[in-house]
Amino acid sequence: MREKILADLRAPQRLFINGARCEAVNKAFIDIINPATGTPLTQVQAAESPDVDLAVQAARHALTDPAWSDMTPQAREHLMLRIADILEARAHELGTLEALNNGKTLHEGVGDVGPSADAFRYYGGWVRKLYGQTIPVDGHDLVYTIREPVGVCGLIVPWNYPLLMAAWKVAPALACGCTVVLKPSELTPLTALRLADICKEAGVPDGVVNVIPGYGEQAGAALAKHPDVDKIAFTGSVATARSLLIASANSNLKKVSLELGGKSPLIVFPDADLDAAAKAAFWGIFANKGEVCSASSRLLVHASVKAALVERLTAMANRMKVGDPFLPDTEMGALISQVQFDKVMAYIKRGIDEGAELVAGGERYTEGQAANGWFLRPTIFTNVQPQMTIAQEEIFGPVLSVLEFENENEALQLANSTIYGLVAAVFTRDISRAHRVAKSLQSGVVWINRWNGFDSGAPFGGAKQSGWGRELGKHALDLYTQTKCVWVKL
Ligand code: NAD
């Protein structure tokens, strides 16, 4: 499988516009690097402003083309179920591509495909359930609402879960009858392009799904300021989110939804099941190399159990198998790029300089085949103080900051003391405390006695500077529809 994929990648990968692969107008290229080897994987054509125009034109035309706009809800549902089936049937191929392009383990890459397929299946189920309401009013009128597609959607996604982040946006957009222009990260465009091929194979009409790999400042910015794009759905950093809002304000006030970063706390009280808490805290930060928006990057632990918990975590970190993403027992692959690696190393240095205590990892992993990849040992800091940089800023890598507290109030104060509010967790056997703390956490999601609960049906998104709007669940339908209210004089 891997050899065949690598052979296919020898040819430069082209854009996907109006139902077909095509050359970029300016013939610009992006070199795609395998993070585990540091060597070129393939080249991808880079979309620039003229390509964005073509993709938006195709999406605009498709929006009112009867092939899409008159497709019955039942047919649209079946189409989405077919996409889900094809994704699942190709799980190994897509997972391999993701591992080669992102550096995550093959296991993680294949693991991303199931929830991606499930997003299409789940939102396929919504197509026939998107009804409006009849509203009693003061007068002799019949008043009803219709939920209409919001229009042409620009979808801008990051590199950490390239296929899954695309699926979380494309699936609800299609369910609502929108058309899309998807801009994957310049680092990881390969599975997004495959998703476009799969949509075509499933029977999605031309122009409904377009995929334009390209640099953020070029393709992304052109999409964000395009006057014929009705909505931007974005997952990525706070800095980029600001530029998207400015672009919207300066163009056509397109709607914007945002899934941004986090500095998420996992709080452990003294009565918690410490083994369960250690496991959750460990995988919460080290899964997918810590390149996870919902990573449990801050462990807040009661002083009385801190030593016991840190001991467990350090032992697990020292045992963790880092290296070749394709070996079956590898638990952590390579960071996405040299740039990201350097950024994470700079945070580690900052942590040491500011006085935190490094108790695991902190250095590059270079054994054997890993010598040229961007591998890092799982890293743990204790004695982290709340004002330190590594307690405040999102590192987006395998670095855990451990802070201690003495009581519930202090735990809450620490938990809520960053600009972010994406997810949080509380570990305790005290049911009242669990719900009390959940209520007071400034966070879009709270997990009690677990980490990383995700389901297509459960809303996900952030409070404070972690985002606007909620993806997944029926909440995402609000992002891709607008309500029309119709009055009939009786
Ligand atoms: P990023 O903001 O640099 O890039 C994200 C996407 O935006 C990429 O496709 C990029 O090309 C594009 N982009 C960059 N500059 C742009 C511009 N000026 N105009 C338009 N588009 C532009 O983020 P990243 O480094 O790729 O991803 C990491 C960030 O994403 C982290 O902060 C992480 O927490 C966040 N993230 C959040 C979630 C979530 O669901 N909340 C999920 C994954 C990642």
Q: What are phi and psi of 148, to 5 degrees?
A: -110, 155
Please report the atom of ligand 1 found closest to the CA of residue 224.
Answer: 20
At what angle are helices 162-175 and 91-102 packed, to 10 degrees? Answer: 130
Instruction: Report the C-alpha gap between 290 and 317 in whole angstroms.
Output: 13
Which residues, at least 6 apart from 3, have a Cβ–Cβ distance to it below 8 Å?
none
Distance from Cα 236 to the centre of ligand 1, integer Å: 2
Residues with CB under 6 A from ligand 1: 156-160, 165, 183, 185-186, 216-217, 220-221, 224, 235-237, 240, 243-244, 259-262, 293, 394, 396, 422, 467
Q: What are phi and psi of 330, to 5 degrees?
A: -70, 135
Distance from Cα 371 to the centre of ligand 1, integer Å: 28
At what angle are helices 162-175 and 73-89 packed, to 10 degrees? Answer: 170
Mutate to test the pocket of ligand 1, among 223, 235, 238, 244 (most ligand atoms within 8 A of CB): 235
Q: How many residues does the chain have?
A: 490
Q: In which band, very low, low, confident or very high, does the pLDDT at 301 lie, cut at 50, 70 and 90?
A: very high
Distance from Cα 465 to the centre of ligand 1, integer Å: 14
Instruction: Report the C-alpha gap between 405 and 393 in whole angstroms.
Output: 20
In the chain, DSSP finds a helix count (H) and a strand count (E) of 17, 21
Instruction: Report the C-alpha gap between 447 and 181 in whole angstroms.
Output: 33
Average pLDDT on 328-338 reads: 98
Token duo for residue 275: 């083994």
Please report the atom of ligand 1 found closest to the CA of residue 471.
Answer: 40
Nearest CA to ligand 1 atom 28: 236
The sign of the torsion formed by the CA atoms of 408, 315, 388, 347 equals: negative
Per-residue pLDDT, 1: 84
Residue tagged active-site, from 293, 331, 394, 471: 293
CA dihedral 172, 173, 177, 183 (to 10 degrees): -150
Nearest CA to ligand 1 atom 38: 293
Mutate to test the pocket of ligand 1, among 49, 240, 254 (most ligand atoms within 8 A of CB): 240
Q: How far is CA 439 from CA 67, 268, 282, 425, 444, in A?
A: 47, 16, 25, 12, 11
Per-residue pLDDT, 166: 98
Distance from Cα 268 to the centre of ligand 1, integer Å: 30
Average pLDDT on 483-490 reads: 98
> Per-residue DSSP letters for 209-247?
EEE----IIIIIHHHHT-TT--EEEEES-HHHHHHHHHH
Average pLDDT on 280-290 reads: 98
pLDDT digits (tens, 9 = 90+) for 257-280: 999 999 999 999 999 999 999 999
Assign 385 to helix, strand or coil.
Answer: coil
Is 259 annotated in the active site? yes
Cβ of 3: how many Cβ atoms within 10 Å? 7
Nearest CA to ligand 1 atom 11: 216
Average pLDDT on 333-360 reads: 98
> Per-residue DSSP letters for 30-56?
EEEEETTTTEEEEEEEPP-HHHHHHHH
Distance from Cα 109 to the centre of ligand 1, integer Å: 19
Average pLDDT on 133-157 reads: 97
**Residue in 340, 341, 332, 281 with CA at minimum distance from that of residue 305:** 281
Nearest CA to ligand 1 atom 39: 259
Least confident piece of the model among 41-55, 300-314, 365-379, 433-447: 365-379
Asked if the model's pLDDT at residue 64 lies above 90, the reply is yes
Residue tagged active-site, from 48, 98, 259, 471: 259
pLDDT digits (tens, 9 = 90+) for 15-38: 999 999 999 999 999 999 999 999
Asked if the model's pLDDT at residue 368 lies above 90, the reply is no
Distance from Cα 227 to the centre of ligand 1, integer Å: 22
Q: What are phi and psi of 463, to 5 degrees?
A: -90, 175
pLDDT digits (tens, 9 = 90+) for 424-477: 999 999 999 999 999 999 999 999 999 999 999 999 999 999 999 999 999 999
Q: In which band, very low, low, confident or very high, does the pLDDT at 369 lie, cut at 50, 70 and 90?
A: confident
Distance from Cα 158 to the centre of ligand 1, integer Å: 5
pLDDT digits (tens, 9 = 90+) for 179-232: 999 999 999 999 999 999 999 999 999 999 999 999 999 999 999 999 999 999
Nearest CA to ligand 1 atom 34: 261
Which residues, at least 6 apart from 432, have a Cβ–Cβ distance to it below 8 Å?
none
Mutate to test the pocket of ligand 1, among 32, 155, 237 (most ligand atoms within 8 A of CB): 237
